[in-house]
Amino acid sequence: MTENTEPNEPFEIVKGLLLLLGCHILAIIFIFLLSLVIAPMLQGSYAILGVWLIGAMGFLFWQLLYVLPLTIWLKRRGKIGMMKGVIIGAVITALLNGACYLVIAR
């Protein structure tokens, strides 16, 4: 059996990567806004930095909140190439996040 592939699949994969990049930017903005809300409740001069560090170190888990529904939505719409791009980008992000965490935790 042959797999049903799109003729412009590399272009669709790049579109999926760009879609995930946009979602990452929105997540970073959300973490920033969340830090502005939470930091005044905490006592200390470095409260915002602490919230940013916790958000950055847990970015792997933050991205699960939007990558899983996004891949399911793209699969249901038949955008397999874009779904592959989102998955590739999520794996790259997870590997980079894990590597950065290991450098900081060392």
- Token pair of 23 as six digits: 């979602």
How many Cβ atoms are within 10 Å of 105's Cβ, its own excluded?
7
* Comparison of pLDDT for 94 and 5, the residue scoring more: 94
Instruction: Give the total number of structural domains in the chain.
Output: 1
Range(s) of the domain holding residue 22: 12-105
Residue 1 lies in a domain: no
Distance CA 22, CA 45 (A): 31
Residue 7 lies in a domain: no
Q: What is the tens place of the pLDDT at every residue in 8-37?
A: 899 999 999 999 999 999 998 988 888 888
68-91 burial: b if 16+ Cβ within 10 Å, else e: eebbeebeeeebbbbbbbbbebbe
For the entire predicted model, the pTM comes to: 0.81
Residue 4 lies in a domain: no
